């Protein structure tokens, strides 16, 4: 009996990518109600391509549930550098979830947590018995790589993916999945707006982890460091620990979902009607012929 293949979708990543792929040219597309649809159009096309590429048996889509989470309570400046979503994108969040409902794909999101945390929790729960593929554009999710967990990073152009797993992560990034959390603790993350240890960048962080492997071992051996580096770590130790806490994707989110409901059995008529009600027309013939091929194989 073949192992289940689960596709976990970072809904936020796909929707933002779908939006900016066309909005940069001022092309928002509108349905007959005057609501922009460009992000959902792009989202669905990325989604269909991923189904064709990875041929999953189960699909789940994860979402943020607002900008306020446990991380913003820990550090109010977390992601405070990011602007509000463009006005044209705001109504498309619910539309994308509605589209997933039409494809009978569960939408998962939990208040106080990010989509990444839901993905991490699901991957951790499902990997022991399934092959898990995570579709995203966010390299923070590389820390989730483990046995049976592969990260598919979306590249420029639809259908281009960089796959990372246990066999190639170190070759590409110079560290293990677990060390990626310690890396962020040391160097911070400017896109998420937390600083790490002042004066330590990627090159130094990699060098330290290569030598000491973990932050704990590094701090136990600070007397072996140069005076300047030792002082940086001593001065920035509180922010080091906080930054690592912000960087670490949670795998204990209290989410509820049904694995049975995640089985990929989308019915063509329901999906077309759902998209049609939103004013979105995307040919689905190829998708369902591929599904029939997978089921007969």
CATH fourth-level superfamily of 175-247: 5' to 3' exonuclease, C-terminal subdomain (1.10.150.20)
* Interatomic CA distance for residues 134 and 292, integer angstroms: 23
Nearest to 210 by CA among 162, 173, 155, 248: 173
Question: Which of 71-80, 201-210, 286-295 is least confident?
Answer: 286-295
Question: From the CB of residue 178, how many other CB atoms can be counted at a distance below 10 Å?
Answer: 15
Is residue 175 within 8 Å of residue 185, measured between CB atoms? no
DSSP label of 145: -
* Interatomic CA distance for residues 143 and 129, integer angstroms: 20
At 290 the pLDDT is 46
Question: How much of the chain, in percent, has pLDDT values that exceed 90?
Answer: 82
Q: Is the pLDDT of residue 285 over 80?
A: no
Strand partners, 58: 6, 263
* Interatomic CA distance for residues 141 and 145, integer angstroms: 8
pLDDT tens sequence across 116-159? 999 999 999 999 999 999 999 999 999 999 999 999 999 987 77
Is residue 75 within 8 Å of residue 239, measured between CB atoms? no
**Taking the domains of the chain in order of start, what are their residue ranges?**
4-171+257-287, 175-247
Give every CB contact of residue 213 below 8 A, 6+ residues apart in sequence: 179
3-state secondary structure of 9: strand
Is residue 9 within 8 Å of residue 59, measured between CB atoms? yes
At 258 the pLDDT is 94
Mean pLDDT of the chain: 92
CATH fourth-level superfamily of 4-171+257-287: 5'-nuclease (3.40.50.1010)
Q: Is the pLDDT of residue 292 over 60?
A: no
Using CB atoms within 10 Å of the CB of residue 195, give its burial: 0 to 12 exposed, 13 to 18 middle, 19+ buried. middle
Nearest to 200 by CA among 180, 213, 184: 184
């Amino acid at each position: 009996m073949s192992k289940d293949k689960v596709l976990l979708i970072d809904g936020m990543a796909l929707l933002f990518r779908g939006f900016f792929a066309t909005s940069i040219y001022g092309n928002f597309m509108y349905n007959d109600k005057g609501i922009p649809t460009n992000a959902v159009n792009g989202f669905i096309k990325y989604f269909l391509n991923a189904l064709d590429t990875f041929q999953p048996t189960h699909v789940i889509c994860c979402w943020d549930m607002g900008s306020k989470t446990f991380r913003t309570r820990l550090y109010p400046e977390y992601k405070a550098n990011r602007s509000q979503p463009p006005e044209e994108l705001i109504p498309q969040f619910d539309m994308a979830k509605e589209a997933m409902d039409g494809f009978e794909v569960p939408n998962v999101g939990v208040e106080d947590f990010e989509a990444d945390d839901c993905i991490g929790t699901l991957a951790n729960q499902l990997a022991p018995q399934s092959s898990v593929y995570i579709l995203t554009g966010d390299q923070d999710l590389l820390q989730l790589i483990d046995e049976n967990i592969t990260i598919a990073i979306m590249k420029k152009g639809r259908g281009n993916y960089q796959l990372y797993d246990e066999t190639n992560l170190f070759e590409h990034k110079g560290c293990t999945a677990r060390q990626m959390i310690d890396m962020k603790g040391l160097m911070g993350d400017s896109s998420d707006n937390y600083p790490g240890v002042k004066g330590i960048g990627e090159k130094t962080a990699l060098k330290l982890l290569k030598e000491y492997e973990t932050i704990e071992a590094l701090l136990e051996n600070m007397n072996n460091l140069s005076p300047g580096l030792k002082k940086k770590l001593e001065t920035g130790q509180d922010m080091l620990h906080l930054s690592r806490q912000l960087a670490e994707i949670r795998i204990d989110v209290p989410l509820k979902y049904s694995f049975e409901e995640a089985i990929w059995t989308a019915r063509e008529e329901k999906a077309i009607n759902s998209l049609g009600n939103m004013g979105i027309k995307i040919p689905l013939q190829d998708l369902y012929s591929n599904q029939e091929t997978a089921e007969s194989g």
